């Protein structure tokens, strides 16, 4: 605390990211939903092609080469695509662009358990927020998002950390019930779910779908997120970007990201492997008495049931395996476990067995 901090800085509760290992520390890292497989070798080639004189210049502001590749891959126009420094930044811009700020304004609706950055951004930008409790089975309460139109809606689908997918027909109900406000569907994990709300874009001008290359495309360290939607929504995001930082994506990230998006077969194969490992480990944990939610993501949300989640988290950490534990109401008996390679996941299951045997 410093006397120079303003009121916002004093009072904000910042987002807490998953633990990052110290340089040189060897761990099995299953706590931030990264991709355990590297991006295609062509991505490295692309990175090395960036010329030193190019680095002397500011990058192209809109990440045009990435937008063009994304548009091609997703069957959209480049004007329907916005790129930013990770989808975290794209979400922050979206909150600023589309949800009303200030006391007395209609609140933004979010699920009570969802990506924990949403309440942080709402607080940072003075956006009134109403949290809609998930149902007892952790699914999104669709009817509560459809009651009386408020100041917009934001949710992750599949949701995090629950890993559960809301069917597209339910997403559509929410869009229909909120025609005058933006419905933001955060699809950070959609590649692992076999479904995307992008299919609804031709029908709904109030739909904004965000995505990221951090998970499916193995580029968490590069920071490239995107939003797709009606051209006027994208223009709104550009207005906010250009009021904050005209160059959010650097020239190397643009080249790397555009190449990674073009490497569709490589990405699809990694996603397929991750989903197969996910389903195998879900079975293994259920065989051990764990309650594992039906994940459509690259992580499992699972409760050990007979012992506390916190004790398992701590013991795994002692064994050099990092998973995510949220000491929060309703989910404090669950662990969020990112899907690693088969070897890493076998080591996880082995460690869980050892812990159960008191080792």
Ligand X SMILES: Cc1ncc(COP(=O)(O)O)c(C=O)c1O
CA distances for 116 relative to 155, 289, 326, 331, angstroms: 11, 28, 10, 13
Of 186 and 230, nearer to ligand X (C-beta) is 186
Whichever of 37 and 319 has its CB closer to ligand X, that residue is 37
**How many angstroms separate the CA atoms of 292 and 34, rounded?**
20
In the complex, least distance from residue 51 CB atom to ligand X, rounded to whole angstroms: 27
CB nearer to ligand X: pick between 266 and 301: 301
- For ligand X, the closer of residues 86 and 340 by Cβ is 86
Strands 207-212 and 225-229: antiparallel
The footprint of ligand X (CB under 6 A) covers 33, 86-88, 115, 156, 160, 186, 188, 212, 214, 220, 225
Nearest approach, Cβ of 161 to ligand X (angstroms)? 8
CA dist 210 → 17, 91, 316 (Å)? 19, 7, 33
Residue with Cβ nearer ligand X (193 or 214): 214
Closer residue to ligand X, CB minimum distance, 86 or 111? 86
| Tokens at 45, concatenated | 């080639």
Query: Shortest Cβ distance from residue 299 to ligand X (Å)?
Result: 9
Question: Considering the complex, what minimum distance in angstroms separates the CB of residue 339 from ligand X?
Answer: 13
As measured in angstroms, the least distance from the Cβ of 1 to ligand X is 28
Would you say 95 or 115 has its CB closer to ligand X? 115
**Minimum separation from the CB atom of position 219 to ligand X (A):** 9
Nearest distance in Å: CB 87, ligand X: 3
């Amino acid at each position: 605390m410093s006397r120079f901090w303003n009121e916002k800085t004093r009072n904000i509760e910042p987002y807490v990211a998953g633990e990052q290992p110290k340089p040189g520390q060897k761990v099995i890292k299953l706590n931030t939903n990264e991709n355990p497989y590297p991006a295609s070798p062509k991505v490295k080639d692309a990175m090395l092609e960036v010329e030193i004189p190019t680095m002397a210049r500011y990058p192209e502001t809109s990440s045009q080469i990435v937008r063009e590749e994304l548009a091609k891959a997703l069957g959209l126009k480049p004007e329907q695509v916005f790129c930013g420094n990770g989808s975290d930044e794209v979400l922050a811009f979206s909150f600023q662009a589309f949800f009303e700020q200030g006391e007395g304004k209609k609140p933004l609706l979010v699920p009570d358990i969802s990506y924990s950055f949403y309440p942080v951004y709402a607080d940072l930008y003075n956006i009134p927020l109403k949290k809609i409790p998930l149902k007892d089975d952790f699914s999104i309460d669709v009817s509560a998002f459809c009651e009386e139109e408020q100041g917009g809606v934001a949710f992750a689908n599949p949701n995090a950390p629950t890993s559960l997918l809301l069917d597209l027909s339910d997403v559509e109900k929410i869009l229909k019930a909120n025609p005058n406000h933006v419905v933001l569907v955060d699809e950070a994990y959609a590649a692992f779910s076999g479904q995307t709300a992008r299919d609804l874009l031709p029908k709904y001008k109030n739909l904004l779908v965000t995505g990221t290359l951090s998970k499916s495309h193995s580029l968490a360290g590069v920071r490239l997120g995107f939003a797709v939607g009606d051209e006027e929504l994208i223009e709104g995001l550009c207005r906010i970007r250009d009021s904050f930082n005209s160059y959010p994506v650097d020239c190397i990230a643009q080249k790397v990201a555009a190449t990674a998006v073009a490497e569709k077969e490589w990405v699809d194969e990694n996603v397929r492997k991750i989903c197969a490992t996910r389903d195998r480990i879900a079975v293994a944990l259920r065989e051990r008495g764990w309650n594992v939610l039906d994940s459509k993501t690259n992580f499992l949300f699972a409760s050990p049931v007979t012992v506390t989640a916190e004790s398992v988290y701590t013991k795994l950490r002692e064994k050099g395996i990092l998973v995510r534990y949220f000491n929060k109401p309703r989910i404090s008996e669950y662990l969020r476990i990112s899907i690693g390679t088969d070897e890493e996941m076998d080591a996880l299951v082995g460690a869980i067995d050892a812990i159960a045997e008191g080792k």
